[in-house]
C-alpha cells in the first residue's frame, strides 16, 4: 500500500501530477507553514527593468576546515528539475564521477496547477517526497533557515537525514562534487577540475554565468525594452566568441572535458527546443553555429550528458495532451515528429581537433592522494548580497572569451 492508503501502482506519475490541485497544495502549505513562492519578475527587477537574479543563500562550503560541510556517502540528495539548466549540472557531474551510489537525486514538479508554493512532488504517491515525506522543496529551506524569504531553487543539496537544505550554490556545487567527494568517486573517474587550472576555469565559469547561462533569463524576465536589448546583444555576442573559440578547440579548454563544458552544454542544448519560446525573435538558432553545434552533439553522445539533459526530453516535456486548439505550439506540431537521434548524431568531425581523439577525459595521476588534489573552492561575486555586484557587466575575463588561455596545456 502507498503512504496514503492506496496502491501506488494504481496511478502513473503523470496521473498523480494531473490530480494535484491548488486546493490540495494550499492545504499542505497551511499544515507545514510554508509561504507562496516569490515572483522573480517582481522581486528581482532593478530600476532599469533588468532581471538581477537572487544570490544563492545556502553557500556553506564543503571542505576540510572546521565548520565546513563534510562529504559523506548516503547523507545527501540532489533535488533537481528537468527544465532547469542549473540543476542539470550536478546530476551530470555526479554521474560522470560515478557517485550515483553516494549521492541520491530526486526530481521535483510544480505544486498544484498554478505552482503557487513552488517546487513540490506532484508525481509521487500522496504528493510527498518519498525520501523525506516533505510536501514542498521550500520545507527544507524553512527547516534550515526559518527566516528565509527567497525562492526555493533547484538544484538544492539536501541532508536527507536531518531533512534540511545545506547547499543551493549552483556556481560551486559541481566543484565540491569534483574535489571534496574525490574519495568516493569511481576508480577511473575523470578529472573535470584540474587543480593547476582551477583559476582559469573559475574565471571562465564566472563569465559564462551572466553572458550565457543566465542569458535566457535576462531576456525572459526583464521588464523593459532597454534591458531586453542589452541582454539580447550580450548573449549573441557571447555565442560568437564561443563559436570562434571552438573552431580550434575540441572542448572549451582544449582536448578534455572540464566543468565548464557541463555548464555551457546544459544551457545551449535547450535553446532551440525550449528557451526560444520566451525571448521573442531569435537572431540565429544554435544549430546554425557550426562549431557549437558539433560540440554539443559530441557531448550529447556521452550518457551522463544525454540521460540528464537532452533535446528530445526538453522539447516534449510538459506538452499538453489531446490539444484540440487550432493554434498549437511549434513543439507540438513539429518537434514531436523530429527524429532527435538522427538530428543529434555525432559525426566525429571534432575528433580531428584533439591530440587524443579517442579520449575526451583527463585522468587523475596514478597514486594521487586526496590531500594532493584537494583545495578550498573559490568564492564567486554572483553570490554577493549587493545588486551592484551582481550586475552582468561585472562578468569580465582577463583574456577574451574567444581565446583559450590553456591552449596546448589541457
Active site residue 84: yes
Among residues 217, 228, 232, 265, the one annotated as catalytic is 217
**Farthest-apart Cα atoms in the chain, separation:** 64
Question: CA 101, 70, 108, 266 torsion: positive or negative?
Answer: negative
- The DSSP line for 161-204 is TTTEEEE--TTTHHHHHHHTTGGGS-TT-B-SS-GGGHHHHHHH
Q: What gap in Å lies between CA 81 and CA 370, rounded to an integer?
A: 32
Q: What gap in Å lies between CA 137 and CA 247, rounded to an integer?
A: 42
Which H/E stretch holds residue 96? helix 85-96
Q: What gap in Å lies between CA 36 and CA 187, rounded to an integer?
A: 44
The answer to whether the peptide bond before residue 330 is cis (omega within 30 degrees of 0) is no
Q: What gap in Å lies between CA 202 and CA 189, rounded to an integer?
A: 21
Among residues 84, 170, 228, 265, the one annotated as catalytic is 84
**DSSP helix, strand, coil percent of the chain (3-state; round to 5):** 40, 5, 50
Smallest CA-to-CA distance from 360 within 117, 169, 192, 227 is with 192
Q: Which residues are designated catalytic? A: 84, 217
Amino acid at each position: 500500500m502507498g503512504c496514503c492508503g492506496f496502491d501506488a501502482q494504481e496511478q502513473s506519475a503523470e496521473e498523480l501530477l494531473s490530480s494535484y490541485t491548488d486546493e490540495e497544495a494550499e492545504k499542505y502549505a497551511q499544515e507545514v507553514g510554508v509561504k507562496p513562492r516569490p515572483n522573480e519578475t517582481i522581486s528581482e527587477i532593478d530600476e532599469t527593468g533588468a532581471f538581477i537574479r537572487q544570490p544563492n543563500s545556502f553557500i556553506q562550503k564543503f571542505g576540510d576546515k572546521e565548520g565546513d560541510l563534510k562529504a559523506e556517502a548516503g547523507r545527501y540528495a540532489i533535488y533537481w528539475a528537468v527544465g532547469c539548466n542549473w540543476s542539470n549540472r550536478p546530476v551530470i557531474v555526479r554521474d560522470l564521477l560515478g557517485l550515483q551510489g553516494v549521492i541520491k537525486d530526486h526530481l521535483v514538479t510544480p505544486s498544484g496547477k498554478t505552482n503557487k508554493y513552488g517546487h513540490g512532488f506532484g508525481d509521487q504517491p500522496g504528493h510527498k517526497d518519498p525520501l523525506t515525506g516533505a510536501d514542498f522543496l521550500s520545507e527544507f529551506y524553512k527547516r534550515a533557515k526559518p527566516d528565509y524569504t527567497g525562492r526555493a531553487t533547484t538544484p538544492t543539496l539536501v541532508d536527507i537525514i536531518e531533512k534540511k537544505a545545506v547547499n543551493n550554490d549552483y556556481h560551486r556545487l559541481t566543484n565540491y562534487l569534483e574535489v571534496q567527494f574525490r574519495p568516493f568517486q569511481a576508480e577511473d573517474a575523470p578529472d573535470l577540475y584540474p587543480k593547476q587550472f582551477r583559476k582559469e576555469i573559475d574565471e571562465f565559469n564566472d563569465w559564462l554565468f551572466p553572458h550565457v547561462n543566465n542569458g535566457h533569463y535576462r531576456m525572459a524576465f526583464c521588464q523593459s525594452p532597454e534591458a531586453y536589448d542589452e541582454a539580447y546583444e550580450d548573449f549573441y555576442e557571447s555565442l560568437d566568441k564561443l563559436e570562434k573559440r571552438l573552431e580550434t578547440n575540441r572542448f572549451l579548454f582544449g582536448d578534455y572535458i572540464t566543468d565548464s563544458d557541463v555548464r555551457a552544454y546544459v544551457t545551449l542544448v535547450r535553446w532551440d527546443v525550449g528557451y526560444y519560446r520566451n525571448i521573442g525573435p531569435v537572431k540565429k538558432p544554435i544549430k546554425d553555429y557550426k562549431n557549437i553545434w558539433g560540440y554539443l552533439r559530441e557531448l550529447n553522445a556521452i550518457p551522463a550528458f544525454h540521460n540528464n539533459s537532452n533535446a528530445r526530453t526538453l522539447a516534449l516535456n510538459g506538452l499538453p495532451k489531446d490539444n484540440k486548439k487550432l493554434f498549437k505550439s511549434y513543439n507540438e506540431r513539429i518537434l514531436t515528429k523530429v527524429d532527435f537521434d538522427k538530428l543529434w548524431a555525432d559525426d566525429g568531425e571534432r575528433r580531428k581537433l584533439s591530440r587524443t581523439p579517442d579520449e575526451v577525459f583527463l585522468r587523475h595521476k596514478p597514486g594521487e592522494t586526496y590531500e594532493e588534489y584537494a583545495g578550498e573552492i573559490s568564492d564567486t561575486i554572483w553570490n554577493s548580497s549587493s545588486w551592484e555586484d551582481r550586475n552582468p557587466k561585472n562578468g569580465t575575463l582577463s583574456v577574451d572569451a574567444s581565446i583559450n588561455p590553456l591552449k596546448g596545456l589541457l
